[in-house]
Amino acid sequence: MNLTRRTILRGAMGGALTLGASSLLPRRSFAASTLALGSAMLDTLSDGNLVLPLSFVTPHDGAAAKLAELGVTGDQVEPPCNVTLYRDGTNTVLFDVGAGPDFMPTAGKLGEALDALGVSAEEVTHVIFTHAHPDHLWGVLDDFDEPLFTNATHMMGAAEMDYWLNPETVNTIGTERQSFAAGALRRLEILKDQIETFEPEAELLPGIRAHASFGHTPGHMAFEVAQGSNSVMIVGDAIGNGHLAFAVPDWVSGSDQDAEMGVATRLSLLSMLAERKMAMIGYHLPGGGIGMVEAANGAYRFEPEV
C-alpha cells in the first residue's frame, strides 16, 4: 500500500480579468490525497468546508481549553469535507457526494473537484453513502432535482434509509436538525426506487465491505476497502474531527445523534485501526483525510499523509 503526498488539483473559475495583453484567471484549488491500494486507487476530493460552532464538536466544558492545547482557538471550527473516490479499472465509486449548493456557501464544491481530476458524473458507477446528513447526501441531485450521477447504482444502509424516509423523523430529531430531516426526506423520496439498501457486513462490491458504525446517525456505516492483504477504512463521520476525537475519544460529540453510542463506536474503531495499523479516511479530517491512527498518551493521534 502506498500513501502518496498531498497534491493540488486546480480547477478554473469564471471571471477572467484582463490587464493589457495579460489575462489573470482566478482559480480555486482542490486538495487531494491519493492512496494506491493494489491495482486500485483512492482519491479524496474536497467538497469545501463547513463552518460550525464549537458546541457542535463537543458540549464538554473543557473543550476550549483542550483545543487550545492542540493549537485550535476561537469559538467555531471549519472542518474540511473529504469525498472519497475509488477506481479499480471497472468500478468508479463515490463514497458520499458532498453538500450540493443548498447547505453552506463554503461547501458543495465536489463538481469542480471532479472536473479538476477529469472525472465526469456520468463515469461514476456507484454512489455509496455513509449516512444522510446534508454534507454527505445533498449533492446527489442536480439543479433540476434530477439524479446527478445518472449511470450510478446508489447504495445506503437499510437502517439509515428507513430512518430518514420515516415522515416522523422531522418531528423527533430536534429543532436544530429539522432541516436535515426535511432535506434528506425530499432527496431520498426522489431517489428511493434507485437506491439499493444493505445490512452490516455485506460485501457491496469486490473488496468493499460495510461495517456498522452507528451513533453519529442511527444507521451510519463505515466501509473497509481491501485488495490482497492491504485495506483502508472509510469512516465517514464516526471519527468526526482531527483533534478531540483522538485526544479525548470518550468525550461525547455534539454532532452525534446518539452521543453515547457514538463514543462506543469511536473507541472501537480507533482501537482497531491502531492495533491493525490500518490506513483510514475521515470525511472531516485534515490533510485530505487519509492517514494513520497511533496510540499516544493513553489516547490516540491522527497522522495525516501530508
CATH number of the domain bearing residue 112: 3.60.15.10
Q: Which residue has the cell 465517514?
A: 236
HEC secondary structure over 99-111 = CHHHCCCCECCHH
- 3-state DSSP assignment of residue 266: helix
All three cell numbers of 60: 464538554
Lowest-confidence segment of 9-23, 33-47, 100-114, 157-171 by average pLDDT:
9-23
Report the percentage of the chain scoring pLDDT > 70.
89
User: Which residue from 68, 144, 51 is spatially nearest to 105, judged by alpha carbons?
Assistant: 51
Q: Provide the domain count of the chain.
A: 1
Q: Are 3 and 21 in contact (CB under 8 A)?
A: no
Q: How far apart are CA 152 and CA 178, in angstroms?
A: 29
Q: Which helix (H) or strand (E) holds 220?
A: none
Please report the pLDDT score of residue 125 as a whole number: 98
CA distance 32 to 20: 35
pLDDT greater than 50 at residue 5: no
pLDDT at residue 15 tops 90: no
Domain annotation covers residue 10: no
Q: What mean pLDDT do residues 5-34 have? A: 45
Given this model, what pLDDT does residue 7 score? 55
| 45 within some domain | yes
The answer to whether residues 222 and 213 touch, using CB atoms and an 8 Å cutoff, is yes
Supply angle C-alpha 123, 217, 210, rounded to 5.
Answer: 50
- CA-only gyration radius of the chain, Å: 19
Q: Give the structural domain span for 171.
A: 28-304
208 near 198, Cβ under 8 Å? Answer: no
Instruction: Find the mean pLDDT for residues 140-146.
Output: 95
Q: Is residue 4 part of a domain?
A: no
- The answer to whether 280 and 291 have CB atoms below 8 angstroms apart is yes
Give CA separation, 276 vs 33, 91, 160, 303, in Å.
21, 27, 28, 15
Q: Is residue 1 part of a domain?
A: no
Q: How far apart are CA 207 and CA 86, in angstroms?
A: 11
The verdict on residue 116 lying in a domain is yes
Q: Which residue has the higher pLDDT, 74 or 110?
A: 110
Residue 289 forms part of a structural domain = yes
20 within domain boundaries: no
pLDDT tens sequence across 64-95:
898 889 888 888 889 999 999 999 999 999 99
C-alpha–C-alpha distance, residues 136 and 232, integer Å: 19
**Any domain includes 16:** no
Residue 298 confidence (pLDDT) above 60? yes
Outline where DSSP puts E strands in 60-151: 76-77, 80-87, 92-95, 126-128
Eight-class DSSP state of 68: H
- Fill in the DSSP letter of residue 141: B
Per DSSP, the three-state class of 64 is helix
User: 281: how many CB neighbours lie within 10 A of its CB?
Assistant: 26
Residue 302 has pLDDT above 70, yes or no: yes
Cell numbers representing residue 237 in the block: 463521520
Return the axis-axis angle of helices 158-165 and 178-191, rounded to nearest 10°.
110
Plot region of 41 (φ>0 → left; ψ -120 to 50 → alpha; else → beta): beta
